[in-house]
Each structure stands twice: as C-alpha cells, then as structure tokens.
Chain A
C-alpha cells in the first residue's frame, strides 16, 4: 500500500508552529504558534475539519 505522504505537504511548513492540514492532507490551510488560533483560522478559511499537528522535529524517531 502506498504510504500517506506527509513529507511533501510539510515541505515548507514553519517549524515549531501548530499546523492545520486540510482533511485530505494535501495542503496546510493555516498555521499559528498555538493550536487554538491555527484551528480557528482554518475553520474561518473554509476547512471545517482541519487536522492539527506540528512539524515533526528534525529527528522524529520515537524510542
């Protein structure tokens, strides 16, 4: 199965900020230093169900 590509969509995402992805995960709708502001901006931009996440750190491996 083809993995979901979060590399491309996060290419130019600002580090350290909360991102609101479109539900189809094909673009960043909004971003802000805190989650609530990013979510609100995405909804106001017409994305009713944004997926909230941060840009993973450069070394995102979890042990």
Chain B
C-alpha cells in the first residue's frame, strides 16, 4: 500500500526559522475492539519500540485504563510513562490522493496496543517495532513524499 506523507503545521523556531510545516508518515487506522471502533491517525515511527495510542482512544474502545497489563516506557526525557495494553484489531485504510487511486486494499492485523495519558496532547498514535515493523516491511520515500507498506 502506498500512502502520501501528511503535511502538518509547525511553528518556526531558532533552529528552523523558515520551516512552517513538516511532512510525516501518517496512516489512518480503523481500530476495533468488539463492537466498538475508532478511526485514528498514527505516525509510523521506527524509533518507537511498541505501538501506543492516546488513552482517549483506548477508552472509546472500551479498554480498561488502568488495567493489569501495564508497561513503563520513556521518551527523550528521563521520565517514566505508563501504558496499558490490550489486544485489538487494526486496519490500515488506504488514503486516496491525486496520485493514488481508490483500488488499494485495506490491511488488517491483530495488534497488542498500548494506551497512555502522555500521548493525549499529540492526539495520534505511534506505530513502532513490536507489532508493526515486526509484521510489515516499510519503505520510506521522503523526497517523493510517500511511503509504502508491504
């Protein structure tokens, strides 16, 4: 499946004074648990060890937060964060664009996903090594503004 990068606004700063947007490899995911479902965005992030989402998405899927399946992790700061894991179903939805037709098939897979409060402000998930890159090959073509999930 070929997916265009998504363009997000970014505030210029001292290091990047002329940058007003950045391109990020984002997928639209249909997340299911039983009868409940949410479509959410997630960034394909090879630097993340696991697949994690904002707690709100877990709550909408009926995931108990907290639950006994907790796991500690950290980001660039030396600060403990906690995610609560649950088995869900994920489907990568094709994202049409001018250059990509509507004929790509969705890709469904079981996902042991974490849900955490600390991703709330980001408002989208991260697809990392265990559960995503362990299952799919991903080619990034940043210069051409697309990536491919195989």
Binding site for B on A (CB under 8 A): 1-7, 10, 18-19, 23-25, 34-36, 39, 49-63
Partner of A60, one of B2, B22, B144, B145: B22
Chain A, interface SS category = loop
Q: How far is the CB of B2 from chain A (nearest CB, A)?
A: 8
Contacts of B126 in A (CB 8 A): 62
The verdict on B72 contacting chain A, using a C-beta distance below 8 Å, is no
B contact residues around A19 at 8 Å (CB): 123
Residues of chain B at interface, number, CB under 8 A: 44
Q: A24, A39, A54: which contacts B121 (Cβ < 8 A)?
A: A54
Are A10 and B9 interface neighbours, CB within 8 A? Answer: yes
> Does residue B56 face the partner (Cβ distance < 8 Å to A)?
yes
Taking a contact as CB atoms under 8 Å apart, the answer to whether B6 and A3 are in contact is: yes
Residues of A within 8 A of B39 (CB): 23, 49-52
**Once the chains bind, are A53 and B123 in contact (CB under 8 Å)?**
yes
Assess the B98–A6 pair: CB atoms within 8 A.
Answer: no
* Nearest-neighbor residue (CB-CB) of A58 within chain B: B11
Which stretch from B40-48, B63-71, B82-90, B130-138 is at the chain A interface? B40-48
Contact A4 B60 (CB under 8 A): no
- Whether B99 and A1, one on each chain, are in contact in the complex, defined by CB atoms closer than 8 angstroms, is yes
Q: Are A2 and B4 in contact (CB under 8 A)?
A: yes
Residue of chain A at shortest CB distance from B38: A52
Taking a contact as CB atoms closer than 8 A, the residue among B4, B9, B30 that contacts A1 in the complex is B4
> Once the chains are docked, how many angstroms separate the CA of A36 from the CA of B54?
13
